[in-house]
Amino acid sequence: MASSSSSLFRCFLHFFFFIISQVQAANLPFHPRDVLPLLPRQVSWPVLNSLNSPVDLLPSFVGSVSSSNRIVNWKGACFYENTAWVEFHNKTGSEFGGGTLHIKVSYPHSWTCMDLYVFATPYRVTWDYYFLSREHTLEIKEWQDKAEYEYVKNRGISIFLMQAGMLGTLQALWDVFPLFTNTGWGENSNIGFLEKHMGATFEERPQPWFTNISVDDVHSGDFLAISKIRGRWGGFETLEKWVSGAYAGHTAVCLKDSEGKLWIGESGHENEKGEDIIAIVPWDEWWDFELNKDDSNPHIAYLPLHPDVRAKFNETAAWEYALSMAGKPYGYHNMIFSWIDTIGGNYPPPLDAHLVASVMTVWSKIQPEYAANMWNEALNKRLGTQGLNLSDILVETEKRGSSFDELLTIPEQDNWIYSDGKSTSCIAFVLELYKEAGLFDPIADSIQVTEFTPAAKVVQ
């Protein structure tokens, strides 16, 4: 019976994709994909899973419109021909007036599809969807202030297309959810995401899946690379690996004291208050947690220093640095964009600087204190300014004749001090310890270790 059901399902899939192929050549009144959610779940969801993925959540930047003379054209997910322009007006009699965003959509691929858009300036984010083939308008009664008026006049309103459409976006949201769940489903989802979007390959190791390390074989400076593939940190690391192109998301370093006791230095250790801090933890305690209590199913690689490198390692200097940093907070400040080294070469499609700015803008509206810690201070450092919020940063960048994508490429400097100290991520902590221990001599002064985040880049 199971075999018969499976055969029928495969036949349905072949038929469905055949119908899709025919739709490309014929303007049918509906597209099969548009009615998938109306079908039984056991039929519709596997097909939707094959058509959409978590990446479909990312909006695609289609252009910026700043006046009626600056018209943008693009092909949408539903409507094949789309045009947009902005008309400035002062219907309210305010100091800077407002504007109307015109969106003309035409030639849908079916009568049942729709396109979903996000519209953003540094001062506002809104969205709309279009089902009918005609000209639509989005009214902005008043610009927030002169800065927004000047920004839109010079840079325009950014338009983002949700590439998967309304239904595809909902399905992609469902696909993102398991990445962060602490279940076997979540673990398989993370592995599947990395296989599909990074081209990663995974081979299951023979059991036992863990081994005990002899403390006698471990030396100060030996490196630990950690990869988590389930739960909250598993989902975060999966996305981190995707944007950075590497296979580990966390690091730690081994240290031995004068009595031969082994310790682990780690930035990102969670204390009893739930805060991520820099900590020096006894090996037995750290190893027991990873083996028996860490529900993210960590994969840990022990990478000893090469004997020639170990001979240069100044253990006293390493310990002095580690102890001076103990208890200080994990450095989030540049983590979200530290992997961006070029204007366009570091972004996995469909990511780009416009989307990064849009995500930051949205998050700044939702959690301004979080945004200040995650990127505002770091962007101010790059501009040489203080206290500017994201909107002010974007405007100031424009005034200087630069662009946001150029701003993101400015390297982090090790001597930058933030409100809570240096931006010391997990790998920055390890590499700064190596730097203090003399491993980078004679070129240590030209190495900015805080630019080497996320951890995966170094491991790769």
CA atoms within 13 A on the CB side of 175: 25
Closest among 383, 385, 373 to 420, alpha carbons compared? 373
- Indicate the pairing of strand 223-227 with strand 157-162: unpaired
Question: According to the model, what pLDDT value does residue 375 have?
Answer: 86
Q: What is the pTM assigned to this prediction? A: 0.67
* Residue 229 and residue 326 in one domain: yes
- Domain encompassing residue 134: 56-168
Question: In the 8-state DSSP scheme, what is residue 57?
Answer: G
* Residue 403 and residue 433 in one domain: no
SS3 180: helix
Question: According to the model, what pLDDT value does residue 201 have?
Answer: 87
Question: According to the model, what pLDDT value does residue 404 have?
Answer: 86
Q: How far apart are CA 429 and CA 322, in angstroms?
A: 8
* Residue 302 and residue 198 in one domain: yes
Question: What is the spatial order of strands in the sheet that 276-282 belongs to?
Answer: 276-282, 262-270, 250-256, 223-227, 299-303
Question: What is the spatial order of strands in the sheet that 98-108 belongs to?
Answer: 72-74, 79-89, 98-108, 135-140
* Residue 317 and residue 366 in one domain: no
Q: Strand pairing partners for 72?
A: 84
Question: In the 8-state DSSP scheme, what is residue 375?
Answer: I
Question: According to the model, what pLDDT value does residue 206 have?
Answer: 85
- Number of folded domains in the chain? 3
Question: Do the Cβ atoms of 318 and 429 come closer than 8 Å?
Answer: no
CATH number of domain containing 300: 3.90.1720
Question: According to the model, what pLDDT value does residue 29 have?
Answer: 43
Question: According to the model, what pLDDT value does residue 459 have?
Answer: 46
H or E element in which residue 127 lies: strand 124-130
* Residue 357 and residue 380 in one domain: yes
* Residue 323 and residue 366 in one domain: no
> Is 274 domain-assigned?
yes
Going by C-beta distance under 8 Å and a sequence separation of 6 or more, which residues neighbour residue 161?
A: 59, 60, 62, 74, 76, 77, 115, 116, 117
* Residue 361 and residue 432 in one domain: no
Spell out, as residue ranges, where the chain has pLDDT lower than 50: 1-55, 57, 366, 455-460
> Which own/partner pairs from 194-197 qualify as long-range (CB within 8 Å, at least 24 positions apart)?
194/238, 194/241, 194/242, 196/53, 197/53, 197/55, 197/242, 197/348
> Is 36 domain-assigned?
no
Residue 148 tokens read as 């927004």
> Is 20 domain-assigned?
no
Q: Which phi-psi region, left, alpha or beta, contains residue 165 (left: φ > 0; alpha: ψ -120 to 50)? A: left
* Residue 232 and residue 373 in one domain: no
Residue 102 tokens read as 């015109």
DSSP per-residue letters across 235-257: HHHHHHHHHHT-S--EEEEEEE-
Question: According to the model, what pLDDT value does residue 450 have?
Answer: 81
* Residue 440 and residue 291 in one domain: yes
Q: How far apart are CA 206 and CA 211, in angstroms?
A: 12
